[in-house]
Structure 1
Amino acid sequence: MPNIIIKAPEGVFDADARARLAKAVTDVAKAVEQIGDDPSHGALTWVLFDEFRPGAFFAGGGDPLEQLIPVVVFFRYPEGVLDDAARADAARRLQEVISAAKPAGDLRPVVTSVIMTAVPDGAWGGAGAIWRLPDLARAVGYKHLQHLVAA
């Protein structure tokens, strides 16, 4: 049940690329979080695109957009869902799917910065309620956390 915010330069990813990328990012999240197979489970993976204008991103004090496509990804997930290996897998897979979504013919490399944040148990609110890990395991169908549902 991650919330994923993708910050990318304005105009790099058109509507079709954003739709493909949202699907690919959702697939990455479902794999690394071990989200259940029921379609309702995947509906709790939210992806938001936030585009920044040229001249609004700096690296080393300069504008890097002529040399590369910088993409910042904020990946928030419930505490206890991802371990070190899953986070490493997520960073690798996100780099791959975002790079694959860039426009054909754009020679600039995509460089991602993925910030993964575990939301402490009891600090996730949704639909007017606080969700704890057993609630999330039930709603999202986390395959590796189903023992919490019975508890």
Structure 2
Amino acid sequence: MPLISIHLPSGVLSKRDEAVLASEATDILLGLEGMAENPKARRLAWAQLHHFDLDDFYMAGEPASKPHYRFELTVFKGTLNETVKQKLTQQLTELILRLEGTDDNILNAARVWVIIHEIEDGNWGGAGKIYYLQSLRSMMKPS
């Protein structure tokens, strides 16, 4: 049931590449959660693109000279350990740089931020009710 919000400048990636970004970001997160092949989990994974004008982004009070990106991932607390968080950050950064067509180096990688929001059990609502991690795991089991 992860939520993926991707903040990116308008027009930097083609619409096709934006679709690839949303799809592959979903694949990365579900894969690291161990749910990549679970169609029930995939149906509950949301990815949303948030566009902003490139000239509306500032660094140190000055207009940024290159595009910057921010992933905000919302997951249940305790579903991602430190190793998985590191892999997630690395893979999402590599994804952006590949789609952007730029070298994977520290200067380009520093333009990609990954922020992970962990929701306490009992604080995630949808479809008119509160969901708990254990009940979601039961729902996700193959039929």
TM-score, normalization by structure 2: 0.86
Structure 2 counterpart of 1:71: 69
Letter in 1 for 2:54: P
1:129-149 CA distances to partner (integer Å, 9 max, x unpaired)? Answer: 1000112212345xxxxxxxx
For structure 1, the 5+ residue unaligned runs are: 142-151
1:91-113 CA distances to partner (integer Å, 9 max, x unpaired)? Answer: 00110111112268xxx946211
- The CA deviation at 1:75 is 0.7
Distance 1:50 1:77, change over 3 A: same
1:49-99 CA distances to partner (integer Å, 9 max, x unpaired)? Answer: 0000132211111111x3x22001111101121111111111001101111
How far apart in 1 are the matches of 2:138 and 2:98? 33
Asked if residue 3 in structure 1 is aligned to residue 3 in structure 2, the reply is yes
Percent of pairs with identical residues: 26
- The CA deviation at 1:36 is 5.4
Structure 1 residue runs of 4+, over 6 Å off?
none
Distance 1:103 1:36, change over 3 A: closer
- The CA deviation at 1:24 is 0.7
Structure 1 counterpart of 2:15: 15
Structure 1 vs Structure 2 CA RMSD: 1.8
Distance 1:128 1:52, change over 3 A: same
Q: 2:87 aligns with which of 72, 86, 89?
A: 89
For structure 2, the 5+ residue unaligned runs are: none
TM-score, normalization by structure 1: 0.82
How far apart in 2 are the matches of 1:134 and 1:24? 26
How far apart in 1 are the matches of 2:36 and 2:13? 29
Letter in 2 for 1:95: T
Partner SS, residue 62 of structure 2: coil
- The CA deviation at 1:27 is 0.8
Letter in 2 for 1:87: K
